[in-house]
Structure 1
Amino acid sequence: MEEQPAPDISLLAERYNPLEQRFRPEDSPFTTLFADITHRCNMACRNCYIPVRDLPDLPVDWLYDILARLPHRTRIRLVGAEPTMREDLPEIIAKVREMGHLPVVLSNGLKLGRASYVARLKEAGLGTCYLSLNGGLRDDLYLEIDELACADRKLKALDNLLAARIHVTTGTIIVPGVNDAHLPEFLEFLVAKGVRDIHLRSVGEVGNYMQGKSLRLDALEEIFRASLPASLPQPELIGEYGSSRDFRAGRVSIQLTEWPELGSLERGRITPDGWLEPMFESIVANAGHY
């Protein structure tokens, strides 16, 4: 691959509106940090908290400098838009590992339908992937929510990740009147596949989103409980903080989130001017402009 000059980080920073609650990398209180490594995407979903596509990729040397200054081992969530659009994603994963941090990729899964590509990410050091599955098993639901009939490609990605023994967290936005009735069948499928980490969340009213479809946490829990497959025991609430609730049902962990999840200092975000901010407050304050 021909080497390309790194873009000027100021092109990212000039679109950014800072918050008051900010931390230098050396003072990070966060156990997880989100790094927006690209704004390119191969989908155009109706719910997207950062719909901007005209900003350059994050320069890796700049990112590594931030990571080198962190005071403790941190889960680094490599996100986008779609992080697999970067040809150097395996190298980024390997470098994050080399620096002593834990790389996590959040993906729509389209490129993960190639087993050889998943193997490259695994060999680079990827141990965990958050896979977006908003339409469950059905093309019509993906069309309605993500504007692309891609069920087969998404489910192939899931199979490849599981076969590679990469830990998978599935993420599903619950849209009332669209995919909520499909949830019982989909949860049964995930449990049968051996998925042990499931995240259900509401439509977040940030960036691009489906109007009038956002659920409160209590309503999200009601839908979840009504959708439990017979193969799972009744879930036990094991943690509640901010706008999230964590449940355990046998060997399966389920997290419900009324998105955006505000008030947490567990998850932060690397900003274009080199500071760290609470993840969801940062998204809301910036309103999707970077």
Structure 2
Amino acid sequence: MLLDELRIEPTAGEALERLRRAHRSSGTRFPPEDSPFGTLFVDLTHRCNMACRNCYIPVRELPDLPVEWLYGVLRRLPRRTRIRLAGAEPTVRRDLPEIIARVRALGHIPVLLTNGLKLGRRSYVAELKSAGLRTIHYSANGGLRDELYEAIDGMPCADRKREGLENAIAERMNVTVGMILVPGVNDFHLPEFLGWMLARGVRDIHFRSVGATGRHMEGKPFTLDDLEDRLREALPPRSPALRMTAEGGSSRDYRLGKVGIQLTQWPDLGSRERGRVTPEAMVEPMFESILSNEFHY
């Protein structure tokens, strides 16, 4: 029987040992003191309150990351870094407000990556803000429709998603809305959802293709050109001109008036901007790490 089934929490040392045994090195890694990354992902937990059909971390039986160990790693970073608190789903951790406060106290910038279900309570969003959170990356693959969430994320949760997003906006968080576009499934909904977001003042939007790693939906994913075509077709009438501001190997950045829109053909390999903290107290490129650890960590 698993420890989780017995409701017995492993000690910090036991948890780290289990995480280290599960983890596979990407082959490129740095000690924290030499980190080249401006952003680091931290997998606070492998637990989740959803079972999405697209998930690059589908492993669920591993223990939560010990936070005092994490703070020791963050103290060693050479510069102020954006720390993306991720999971599976980080809001399942009861100590998330304390983690946010400690990350801020250590001189770094906490950023929450969430499916948003728990943000349906505005008091919880306010608690996270009081702890020092200012930026949320919010997953909304089904936009405004239950049937799309059920098809992509395995749960009809449009109302809860919308409430969480509106609470984050109401608390004046810097919100980035992310949406995986699946050909023939949710791309038709893009005009409706984009118009809704623009009307509510969302200033940062990311659309990306399905990544063929971990648990994912089969089929040919959109290319960058496909994504740009869908975006241009979805623009509301009389909207500002869409202009590209940057282009990399797997992403394109645009401005639509005051709104930033990024398109990404997943994964974004070769980046020295985004890294990941590993259980060996090292940092390595984010997407290379994800590919190396498929169904392991």
The normalised TM-score by structure 1 is: 0.97
Equivalences for residues 40-55 of structure 1 within 5 A: 40-55=47-62
Of the candidates 7, 10, 14, which is equivalent to residue 21 of structure 2?
14
Contact 2:245 2:253 in 1 (8 A): yes
Contact 2:15 2:65 in 1 (8 A): no
Corresponding position of 2:118: 111
Change (3 A) 1:287 1:5: closer
Distance in 2 separating the partners of 1:21 and 1:208? 24
Q: Quick one: which amino acid aligns to residue 119 of structure 2? A: L
**Please, what is the CA RMSD of the aligned residues?**
1.3
Contact 1:73 1:101 in 2 (8 A): yes
Q: Percent identity among equivalent residues?
A: 62
Distance in 2 separating the partners of 1:64 and 1:178? 41
Check if 1:78 corresponds to 2:85: yes
Check if 1:193 corresponds to 2:200: yes
The answer for unaligned runs of 5 or more in structure 1 is none
Check if 1:136 corresponds to 2:124: no
Q: How many residues align?
A: 289
Distance in 2 separating the partners of 1:112 and 1:178? 26
Check if 1:215 corresponds to 2:209: no
Contact 2:209 2:223 in 1 (8 A): yes
3-state DSSP of counterpart to 1:14: helix
Distance in 2 separating the partners of 1:267 and 1:75? 9
Distance in 2 separating the partners of 1:153 and 1:126? 21
Contact 2:253 2:262 in 1 (8 A): yes
Change (3 A) 1:232 1:289: farther
Distance in 2 separating the partners of 1:250 and 1:47? 31
3-state DSSP of counterpart to 2:149: helix
Q: Quick one: which amino acid aligns to residue 286 of structure 2? A: M
Corresponding position of 1:248: 255
Of the candidates 157, 175, 183, which is equivalent to residue 168 of structure 1?
175
Contact 2:55 2:216 in 1 (8 A): yes
Q: CA deviation at 1:134?
A: 0.3
Q: Quick one: which amino acid aligns to residue 288 of structure 2? A: E
Contact 2:251 2:268 in 1 (8 A): yes
Corresponding position of 1:57: 64
